[in-house]
Structure 1
Amino acid sequence: MPGWRSWVLDEDDGAWERRSTVRVVPPVQARKLAKVPFVELADGRLQGVVSSGSDASRVYVSSITAGTHGNSCSTNNNRPCGGLTDRYLCKHLDALVTEAIRQYGQERVARYLRVEVGEGKNLIDCLNSHKDPAPAAAVFSRFLRHLAYLEIPESTEPVPELHWFPAAGAVG
């Protein structure tokens, strides 16, 4: 696309330094934010926040570690998920993987988790999953910080703490 690079990241005119937006890679498919409001590939894990199916005020922090496929699921106050077993993923982890695939695509999620998914196979079925508790506080804290960004008043002026944050109007 002619001119795209210069409009977004032209280092010669410094325009990128005056904007609080960056190029955004759009999701592969539309996500269900009510069920999984936060999903990320970070800290060597697929991790995120998943809403409880039975209690609107409860959320679970769920994660799968890259390489080992150790999984963890607990409430935001560190109570373990009752549906997680050594052999099977709980419904929260299942929802997390589903939404991660919608966000990033199956190939990218599989590559991040270091799992080979054969033709026509389901990524979840290819995991060598087992319980491996992971700290939930950092993930939940990052989720809350992202929610706080939604409360910042709209402005055309640069917002220093958001210089890295993707904006809806960014070129993709």
Structure 2
Amino acid sequence: MGDGALSVWEKSSTVRVVPPARPRKLAKVPFVELADGRLQGVVSSGSDAGRVYVSSVAAATYAFSCSTNNNRPCGGARGSFCNHIRALVTEAVLQYGAERVSRYLKAEAESGADAAALLSAMTVTRPGAGDGGAAAQVFSRFLRHLGYLELVATTAPLPEMHWFPAGGAVAA
């Protein structure tokens, strides 16, 4: 491709779909993303089936936030990562791979590290509590994704999904 020619996916209006590094179960962490300078997502409560936590860890500073979907702070996130944030990091490693998560969060983890090593690398710098301002946005995005699951199967275009990869997208 050094001669200036564009690959097939570069000429199309679709984007490449990066498959998960390893399959993961969605029951514990149904939503995880690397966005807005944070690892963020939704984690199910271990004690209440009707409750979820919105958790996030900021890149570079590792400032963290964890609260319920009703904006109540997590009782375990006092001065260190709670179990929800640990589950979020573990699932992010399964979804994106440890190297990508480490690179995004600017964590000094060894090559080939797992989630435990990544968490250890981030706790060395004594992360601080972050602001929970992003929780509403993250939870709203999660609900919007859930809404797509409820749509009736159709071949008609969805205007808000025009950016989504088509069936001919090339996997990385």
Q: Provide the TM-score with structure 1 as the length reference.
A: 0.83
- Residue number in structure 2 paired with 1:131: 129
1:54 counterpart = 2:47: yes
**What amino acid is the match of 1:106?**
A
Stretch moving more, 124-133 or 28-37: 124-133
Q: 1:170 to 1:157 in 2, by over 3 A?
A: farther
Structure 2 counterpart of 1:160: 159
Contact 1:85-1:130 at 8 Å conserved across structures: no
Asked whether 1:99 is paired with 2:91, we answer yes
Over 3 Å counting, the alpha-carbon distance change for 1:90 and 1:139 in structure 2 is same
Is the contact between residue 99 and residue 111 of structure 2 (CA under 8 Å) also seen in structure 1? no
Q: CA deviation at 1:165?
A: 2.8
Match of 1:142 in 2: 141
Q: Which runs of 4+ in 1 moved over 6 A?
A: none
Instruction: Quote the offset at 1:150 in angstroms.
Output: 1.1
Is the Cα contact below 8 Å between 1:24 and 1:167 reproduced in 2?
A: no
* Helix, strand or coil at the partner of 1:49: strand
Cα displacement (A) at 1:154: 1.6
- Deviation by residue 1:10-38 (Cα, 9 ceiling, x = unmatched): 45xxxx4xxxx643100000112000000
Structure 2: runs of 5 or more not aligned: 1-6
The one-letter amino acid paired with 2:43 is V
Secondary structure at the counterpart of residue 90 of structure 2: helix
Q: 1:119 to 1:107 in 2, by over 3 A?
A: closer
Which secondary structure does the structure 1 equivalent of 2:132 belong to?
Answer: coil
What is the DSSP-based 3-state SS (H/G/I as helix, E as strand, rest coil) of the residue aligned with 1:47? strand
Indicate the percent of aligned positions where both proteins have the same amino acid.
Answer: 63
Tell whether 2:61 aligns with 1:63: no
CA distance in 2, matches of 1:92, 1:59: 10
> Aligned to 2:32, what secondary structure does the other structure show?
strand
TM-score, normalised relative to structure 2: 0.83
Residue correspondences, number: 158
